[in-house]
């Protein structure tokens, strides 16, 4: 079983749609959680950290369920520019990160 | 602006050539940097952890003699792919922890290596 699992997609949605991505992690000792965004042939960029209480940043909402070892990302009012691969990232200890395989999102006009 | 600078962004070389990639932290000191590799349509895989002033820590399956890491200063780590072969063609990315709590990793822009 992979340490961090994501549905690879692609998710094809129209502009303005709401889309949700899920991620599960296997190590219950995981401490920190993040969503990164990666555009084609570019480096990953931090989208947002994920906190236990859930957090929101504009159109993006992240939630964490430690009991189920599950993380989610909700994008409201999708824009064309949201098209990218979204990486679920988990930190177990120290500064080392474990990446999920990514979920590809394509927002269509 | 970028907090981690990586150079070069693109390398095309012949088989057998050694390729050096630099990763610099900008305006902050990074005692630890990380080197990842990403093959097409796959996620990032950690290759090694670069430690300033000491030996790098390599992940299982990564040959330390093939991928030489040098972290000679608090702002620079280098990865040298020795005697590169076509199967080494990949996207190599470095990262370093920054931010107030130093729990956020920022990535260099990556180096796309193509070995002919």
Note the pLDDT tens digit of each residue in B47-70. Answer: 999 988 889 999 999 999 999 999
> Between chains, do A99 and B44 touch, taking CB under 8 Å as contact?
yes
The percent helix, strand, coil of chain A (3-state, each to 5) is 5, 55, 40
Mean pLDDT of A8-37: 94
Cα–Cα distance measured from residue B38 to residue B110, given in angstroms and rounded to the nearest whole number: 10
pLDDT value, residue B27: 84
In angstroms, what separates the C-alpha of A79 from chain B's closest C-alpha?
23
pLDDT of residue B104: 78
pLDDT exceeds 90 at position A34: yes
Cβ of residue B34 closer than 8 Å to a chain A Cβ: yes
């Amino acid at each position: 079983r992979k340490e961090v699992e994501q549905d690879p997609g692609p998710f094809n949605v129209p502009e303005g749609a709401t889309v949700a991505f899920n991620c599960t992690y296997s190590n219950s000792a995981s401490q920190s959680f993040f969503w990164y965004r990666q555009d084609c042939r570019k480096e990953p960029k931090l989208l947002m950290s994920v906190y236990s209480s859930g957090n929101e940043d504009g159109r993006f909402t992240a939630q964490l369920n430690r009991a189920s070892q599950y993380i989610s990302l909700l994008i409201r009012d999708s824009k064309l520019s949201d098209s990218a691969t979204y990486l679920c990232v988990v930190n177990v200890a120290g500064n080392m990160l474990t990446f999920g395989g990514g979920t590809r999102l394509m927002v269509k006009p | 602006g970028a907090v981690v600078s990586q150079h070069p962004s693109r390398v095309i070389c012949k088989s057998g050539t050694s390729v050096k990639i630099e990763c610099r932290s900008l305006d902050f000191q990074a005692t630890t940097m990380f080197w990842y590799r990403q093959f097409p349509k796959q996620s990032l895989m950690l290759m090694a952890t670069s430690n300033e002033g000491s030996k790098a820590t390599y992940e299982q399956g990564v040959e330390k003699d093939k991928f030489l890491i040098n972290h000679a200063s608090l702002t620079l780590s280098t990865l040298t792919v020795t005697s590169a072969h076509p199967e080494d063609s990949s996207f190599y990315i470095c990262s370093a922890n920054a931010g107030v709590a130093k729990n956020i990793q920022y990535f260099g822009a990556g180096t796309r290596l193509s070995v002919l």
